[in-house]
Amino acid sequence: MAAMALRPLNCTTLAGGSQRTAAEAATTRRARRTVPLTSASSLSPPPPTKKKVLVPVGLGTEEMEAVILVDVLRRAGADVLMASVEPGLEVEASSGTKLVADTCIAACANEIFDLVALPGGMPGAVRLRDCEILRKMTIKQAEEKRLYGAICAAPAVVLMPWGLHRRKQITCHPAFIDKLPTFRAVTSNIQVSGELTTSRGPATTFEFVQSLVDQLFGSTVSEDIGEKLLMQADGGHQRKEEFNKVEWSFNREPRVLVPIANGSEEMEVVILVDILRRAKMDVVVASIEKSMPIVGSQSTKIVADKTLADASESTYDLIILPGGIAGVERLHKSRMLKKLLKEQKKAGRIYGGICSSPSLLQKQGLLKGPWYCNGFFTCYREQVLWSCKSKKRGRRDCF
């Protein structure tokens, strides 16, 4: 008993007979006191995993379809990879727009995607069809009952040779509908058949991607995206209402300038350029940045044809500004663009804007007069249509 009373005080006896110093024991007690107590109720569930989407592109891919797919799916919250099936990341699309993919197809060959969405365009669809890596990925996608889709030429040119049309009702671009089995072909804008969704072409891309958003995220997200992008019915507004009569007559190919910047709305850039080029206009995409590639509002990379400095050496029948809040702010800071717009106005040549870009024109005093439309510019061949939000100011040479 005496021996136990005289045992040194600098050691602590542990279960099993091992010993540690008093200093070590004190350190342990302090550490225990500093560890916060966490109740089960305070534990938050892990954040939901983002839906992963693959959008492959190749030489001749339809740029409107590819960019609208990427843009809208990213707005919905998907993690979208634009993957090149070409040797390099830069891809020239069907109407000449240069896109820069996020990665090459080989780099994502072993990844699992919630959706694989194939844009059309020729020869883009053929380039996708001939990519063995993409073929294996898409077949596996279908076998494992995950979502996949195709639009325009892709259902006929890509899915059929891969055997992914079997037991499916599908639609495609009218130019390729005769290549589909008669008993499987439908002529609707959108056709959902199990995990496969197909659509007809550039003009139905918004319906196509909204259907895909609905399948990935539900109707609430789909409807919200549709409202924000004005995809829904126009509420009874006139499709066309012209306040400033302008004669569009040329004895040559009209020249058009589309200035772009980091933050420009890529869908608007691509739709403007694609349709105006289809209408046989000479369209120049000019970057106001120090580099030719710009990063759009939803992170799609577009390569300009020229810098604005080089483009400013020519005159243009039309200067049209894309929207995107950050992009418009960048355009507003360009002295060279301001000078070009003022010269355009002075010469009586046409200029205009879409989305938020009319605010730039207003700040430069280019919207003085009885009317202007602060809305969305839509062009199909030789028609210029406005969905007007307000009709307060404007010029005869500004639409």
pLDDT digits (tens, 9 = 90+) for 314-367: 999 999 999 999 999 999 999 999 999 999 999 999 999 999 999 999 888 888
Rounded distance between C-alpha atoms, residue 289 and residue 285, angstroms:
12
Mean of pLDDT over the chain = 83
pLDDT at 127 over 70: yes
- Binning pLDDT at 50, 70 and 90, where does residue 4 land? very low
CB atoms within 10 A of CB 309: 11
Task: Name the burial class of residue 167, with classes exposed (0-12), middle (13-18) and buried (19+) by CB atoms within 10 angstroms of its CB.
Answer: exposed
Q: What is the model's pTM?
A: 0.81
Length of the chain: 399
Active site residue 152: yes
pLDDT tens by residue, 214-244 = 999 999 999 999 999 988 655 555 555 665 6
pLDDT at 250 over 90: no
pLDDT at 69 over 90: yes
Q: Which of 108, 131, 152, 398 is catalytic?
A: 152
Residue 399's nearest CA partner among 383, 381, 386 is 386
CA angle, 90 then 94 then 97, to 5°: 50
Q: What is the pLDDT of residue 236?
A: 52
Q: Could you tell me which residues come within 8 angstroms of residue 109 by beta carbon, excluding any fewer than 6 positions away?
A: 133, 136, 137
Q: What is the mean pLDDT of residues 19-43?
A: 47
Domains assigned to the chain: 52-228 (3.40.50.880), 255-387 (3.40.50.880)
Residue 292 half-sphere exposure toward CB, CA atoms < 13 A: 13
Q: What is the DSSP letter of 364?
A: T
